[in-house]
Structure 1
Amino acid sequence: MKKFLLFVAMVAVMFVAAACGSGNEETTTESNEQTASEQTEGNETTEEATADLEGSVVVDGSGTVYPLMSVVAEEYMYTEQENVSVEVSRAGTSAGFGRFLVEDGTDFNNASRQIKDEELAEADAAGFEVMEMKVALDGLTFVINKENDWATELTKEELISIFHHDGGVEKWSDIRPEFPDEEIHAMGPNENHGTYEFFYEAILEKEDLVDGVNLQQEYSTLVNLVSEDVNGIAFFGFGYYVNNQDKLQAVNVDFGDGPIEPSLDTIGEEAEYAPFTRPVFTYLNVDKAKANPQVLDFALFTANNVNEFAGQTGFAPLPDEEVQAYVEVLEGLK
């Protein structure tokens, strides 16, 4: 209203001034003023469209999903809502759920496994609804040292035997006689990570890992350990391998029909690398999305754009119809 009154006053003053001059001057002055007014209103409209939200969005959870969601967050802040701060952390899936499933917890939790029933019960106890969103497909990838020239192709069963407590494998030669008579150094992410839980539950079928396995909190630590140890072997998500393939090489896995290289072309729930393929997720606090427009807006941006960034960060994209289903649910929260 103040801007409108100021505008009216300015027009009135200019009208009086113009009346003292010629008719041509009056027409020119009015025309110039109208153009300036239209430009000002246009600029205000643009600013309102690109900066009409503010506040923060807090995301934690999976280290596997972190590279994807951090890129989505950067794009959102840069191109969509410059006054919204999106903080993405990587405590690990399980540790992240510990921060999400509490009153006034984080807005989103990224996860490299599905939420458990007991975790959903924690959300109920805290009094809020949780929405599961798949964001991409990932391939569990086994990595070895660049100088390892014998274990570049292994069967699924051979890989499991390396990490299984009853696998009967301590040295490479225990797998195949022609392999080196050297101790295998098995490594992986620790229990805070959904990747560990997926491996333990889906691959090892809840059997214990081999004694002496080196479990780490940070994926970067695993990369460094394997890159410095010719007898090292570790597992984590394909996306993290892609970002470190200058230091490591991936094992091609034979599921029964010949060795398959993990790649964006082979990773998929119906693709060649399907036995080691898993969906990865983000979980939304629905109550926070309803109460905080920036949280819902970021959720919608994620659903609408995540496929664009999946391949860039080492993930296979989701089917378009699945993405659209999430968009429709989120639109219904407005």
Structure 2
Amino acid sequence: MKLKNIFMALMIAVLAIALVACQGDSEKEKEGEDNSNTEQKDNENNEEENNEAAADLEGSVVIDGSGTVYPLMAKLAEEYMSNEQPNVSVEVSRAGTSAGFKKFLVEDGTDFNDASRQIKDEEQEEADKLGMEVKELKVALDGLTFVINKENDWATEMTAEDLKKIFLADGGVTKWSDINPDWPDEEINTYGPNENHGTYEFFYENILEEKDLVDDVDLQQDYPTLVKMIEEDKNGIAFFGFGYYVNNQDKLQAVSVDFGNGAVEPSLDTIAEDGDYAQFTRPVFTYLNVDNAKEKPQVLDYAIYVMNNVNHVAGETGFAPIPDAEVEESVSFLEGLK
């Protein structure tokens, strides 16, 4: 009987110990769940605060510069204001690369300057004098395009050298028949953007190697004016960025260029720094006033948006995309300004 009582007492003790252990585990699990829930709530609150901060952006972002880059930046600005920050006003103008730098490199200047060439040494020196930190952001690739009238059925293909000779003062070409005796014995009328534009500077410096243009070349400030002039001139030829050609294909036709291995039509497939149209391909940029980006959240936010989305909209506006690695490098720099 005593043994039976002792055995029963031992069983009760074991059950009591097990019960206490289970309660301990349950309390630990509950404590872990509480900690996890707290951390999750903290993360959700932080994310919500960040989203609210982003949603509360307001003010303006002021952009000027390249007429070539304008369609790309205008498209990005439109989508940003419609889909991301409706309380931020992004103002995009197109004075031209050089004229734009004059508005950018001053006290209280623009936030961005779009450019179809890189910043010049004297422009960088001006920024240094002002104590302004400037960041170059490469946004796309453009192809210098030569356009002719829709009725011109003879000059649809030319060599790169022929095109240069047409625009050079000492090129020895004034009529179409000077290039090919089978072509019309008619004077060639030349057009292009004026000195305010980076496209002019790229053409003059890189293609013509800083040699004089023909005296009677008609240089214009506005690209739509150039489009209209070629549309109305059967003997006209002009140069500008591929994007303006793409948006006016119903009015103009592009010249296919023979660089030595057969004629190449400018297109999103051929425009590349190492592609078939490489000799007439150039990068285009926007330059950011870093000080403004640090002081104005909307300026930095827009800069990050541009780089994260530029490759998605480049093709829509006549530009070839840049490598993803270059996009990521720019975004990393911009994120570091926060």
Q: TM-score range by the shorter chain?
A: 0.7 to 0.9
Whether the 8 Å CA contact 1:103–1:127 is kept in 2: the answer is no
Task: Choose which of 192, 197, 200 in structure 2 pairs with 1:193.
Answer: 197
1:177 partnered with 2:178: no
Alignment pair present for 1:303 and 2:304: no
- Please name the residue that 2:41 is paired with: none
> Deviation of residue 130 (structure 1)?
0.3
Query: Which whole-Å deviations, capped at 9, do the CAs of 1:261-286 have from their partners, x for residues lacking one?
Result: 00000000011000000000000000
* 1:209 alignment counterpart: 213
Structure 1 residue 143 and structure 2 residue 134: aligned?
A: no
Structure 2 counterpart of 1:258, from 262, 270, 277: 262
Q: TM-score, normalised by structure 2?
A: 0.85
Q: Deviations over 1:180-219 (max 9, x none)?
A: 0000001000000000000000000010101100000001
- The within-5 A match list for 1:1-334 is 48=52, 51-334=55-338
Q: Percent identity?
A: 74
CA distance in 1, matches of 2:170, 2:105: 36
- State how far apart, in whole Å, the 1-side matches of 2:186 and 2:220 are: 23
Secondary structure at the counterpart of residue 297 of structure 1:
helix
Q: CA deviation at 1:251?
A: 0.1
| Unaligned 5+ runs, structure 2 | 1-44
How far apart are residue 145 of structure 1 and its match? 0.1
2-structure distance, mates of 1:211, 1:45: 62
Structure 1 unaligned regions, length at least 5: 1-41
Question: 1:120-176: CA deviations, max 9, x gaps?
Answer: 011111221000000000000000000000000000000000001110011111111
For residue 183 of structure 2, what is the amino acid of its counterpart? F
What TM-score, normalized by structure 1, do the two folds share?
A: 0.86
Change (3 A) 1:117 1:304: same
| 1:49 Cα deviation from its structure 2 partner | 5.8
Partner of 1:27: none
Contact 1:153 1:252 (8 Å CA) reproduced: yes
Contact 1:58 1:87 in 2 (8 A): yes
Q: 2:160 and 2:331 mapped to 1: Cα distance?
A: 37
| CA distance, structure 1, for counterparts of residue 328 and residue 52 of structure 2 | 27
Shift of 1:51: 2.5
| SS, match of residue 226 in structure 2 | helix
Q: Distance in 1 between matches of 2:187 and 2:100?
A: 35
Secondary structure of the corresponding residue to residue 314 of structure 2 = helix
**Cα distance change, pair 50–290 in 1 and its aligned pair in 2 (3 A):** closer
1:163 & 1:191 partners in 2: Cα distance?
Answer: 15
Q: Distance in 2 between matches of 1:60 and 1:168?
A: 38
- Residue 331 to residue 158, structure 1, CA distance change in 2 (3 Å): same
Contact 1:145 1:247 (8 Å CA) reproduced: yes
Letter in 1 for 2:213: L
Q: Contact conserved, 1:131 with 1:286, CA < 8 A, in 2?
A: yes
Give the Cα separation in 2 of the matches to 1:49 and 1:180: 65
**Count of aligned residue pairs for this structure pair:** 293
Write the letter of the residue equivalent to 2:185: D
Secondary structure of the corresponding residue to residue 295 of structure 1: helix
Partner AA of 2:324 in structure 1: D
- The answer to whether the 8 Å contact 1:54/1:83 transfers is yes
Contact 1:50 1:82 in 2 (8 A): no
**RMSD (Å), alpha carbons:** 1.5
1:29-51: per-residue Cα shift (whole Å, max 9, x none)?
xxxxxxxxxxxxx9x97983663
